[in-house]
Amino acid sequence: MKTIALIGCAKNKLNTKSKSKDIYTGDLFKKSKTHVEKHHDGFFILSALHGLLEPEKEIEPYDYTLNDLTKKQIEEWSESVHKQLLSAIKEGENVELFIYAGDKYRKFLLPLLEKSGFKVSVPLKGLGIGQQLAWFKDNIGE
C-alpha cells in the first residue's frame, strides 16, 4: 500500500517565489517535511490559499490562513482540497493517507476522505505544538 502524507503550511515563509516544499520556513513545517520524506511515498502541502499543493509547485509568498475564513469557507476549502486530492491520486491506487496538520485543516476534510474510502491516520492528533515537535524529534532521529 502506498502512503501519502498531507502536511500543513506555515505562517513563516521565504520572501521570494519558491517551490512550495521550500517556501515555508517554520520549524514544525520543516520537521514535518523531513519526516514525511523519510517515511512516506509522497506528500502534498495543505495551503489555506492554494488548497492542495504539489511539493515542486512554485508559489509566491502570501499572508493568508484558515483563521481568516468563516466556518462555511473552511468547509468549501475542504471540499476543494478533497476534489484536488481525488484528481491527484490514480484511480484504483491503494493509498493510505497520513495527515500532519492542525484541526482546522482536518475537521471537515477528514470525513470527506473517509467517505471516499481512504484509510486515514492522524499521528499528531491531540498533541500541542511542543509535543508535535518532540514527536518529530523522536521520529526523525534528531
Distance of CA 130 to the CA centre of its chain: 18
pLDDT at residue 31, as a whole number: 95
pLDDT at residue 2, as a whole number: 94
Give whole-number Cα distances, 102 to 68, 89, 133, in Å: 15, 22, 13
User: What parts of the chain have a pLDDT lower than 50?
Assistant: none
Q: Tell me how far apart the alpha carbons of residues 30 and 42 are, in angstroms, rounded to a whole number.
A: 15
* The three-state (H, E, C) secondary structure of 50-116, written as one string: CEEECCCCEECCCCCCHHHCCHHHHHHHHHHHHHHHHHHCCCCCCEEEEEECCHHHHCCHHHHHHHC
Q: Alpha-carbon torsion 128, 129, 132, 133, what sign?
A: negative
Q: What nine digits make up the cell of 9?
A: 503550511
pLDDT at residue 71, as a whole number: 96
pLDDT at residue 116, as a whole number: 92
Taking only Cα atoms into account, the Rg of the chain, rounded to an integer number of angstroms, comes to: 14
Do the beta carbons of residue 8 and residue 102 sit within 8 Å? yes
pLDDT at residue 68, as a whole number: 86
Q: Which of 140, 122, 123 is nearest to 39 (CA)?
A: 140
Q: What nine digits make up the cell of 42?
A: 509522497
* Residue-wise pLDDT tens digits, 51-72: 999 999 999 999 999 998 999 9
Q: Tell me how far apart the alpha carbons of residues 41 and 59 are, in angstroms, rounded to a whole number.
A: 23
pLDDT at residue 141, as a whole number: 62
